[in-house]
């Protein structure tokens, strides 16, 4: 009986530790998905003179909100080209420029936020990917309003 305890107990402890380590390991937070999901919002004059220019820090949001409703009532697509802003009217079209690498993109404001002090804009994962700041998580941006939105909420049938 003593021989059984001598070998079985260390095996059980080792297996328990292995299971704990495997279950606690991290998995990738985001997937790249198919590249064809990043589509332009609509035809806009991308060289149009902006009506208002803002500068600040942008972050991005993705997987935790993917498939949930945005402030304007549409389903959030983390691979889409959208953004959240606290005060710009919903459905406003903006040109966002990453001031650290000069990459620029046309986005539509479809959500409210960010709710972190010091941040002005929350881009979708797809927008952050194209703007080149996924690795950093945040970046300095210039936001130029191209077309003010209608601030309308999209209603869904129950």
Average pLDDT, the chain: 82
Given this model, what pLDDT does residue 37 score? 44
Domains and CATH numbers, the chain: 37-147 (2.40.40.10)
Do residues 56 and 109 lie in contact, with contact meaning Cβ atoms separated by under 8 Å?
no
98-157 pLDDT per residue, tens: 999 999 999 999 999 999 999 999 999 999 999 999 999 999 999 999 999 998 887 755
- Taking 60 as the threshold, does the pLDDT of residue 30 lie above it? no
- Taking 80 as the threshold, does the pLDDT of residue 62 lie above it? yes
Q: What DSSP string runs through the chain? A: -HHHHHHHHHHHHHHHHHHHHHHHS---S-----GGG---SS---TTPPPSEEEEEEEEEE-TTTTTSB-TTSSBP-TTSSEEEESSSPTT-EEEEEETTT--EEEEEEEE----STT--EEEEHHHHHHHT-TTTSEEEEEEEEEE----PPPP---
């Amino acid at each position: 009986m003593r021989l059984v305890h001598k070998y079985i107990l260390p095996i059980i402890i080792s297996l328990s530790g292995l299971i704990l380590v495997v279950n606690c390991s991290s998995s990738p937070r985001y997937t790249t998905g198919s590249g064809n999901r990043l589509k332009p919002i609509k035809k806009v004059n991308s060289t149009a003179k902006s009506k208002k220019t803002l500068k600040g820090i942008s972050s991005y949001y993705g997987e935790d909100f993917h498939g949930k409703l945005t402030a304007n009532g549409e389903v959030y697509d983390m691979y889409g080209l959208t953004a959240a802003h606290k005060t710009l009217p919903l459905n406003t079209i903006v040109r966002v420029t990453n001031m650290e690498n000069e990459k620029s993109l046309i986005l539509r404001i479809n959500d409210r936020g960010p709710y972190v002090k010091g941040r002005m804009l929350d881009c979708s994962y797809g927008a952050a990917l194209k703007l080149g700041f996924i690795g950093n998580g945040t970046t300095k941006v210039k936001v130029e309003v191209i077309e003010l939105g209608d601030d309308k909420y999209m209603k869904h049938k129950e």
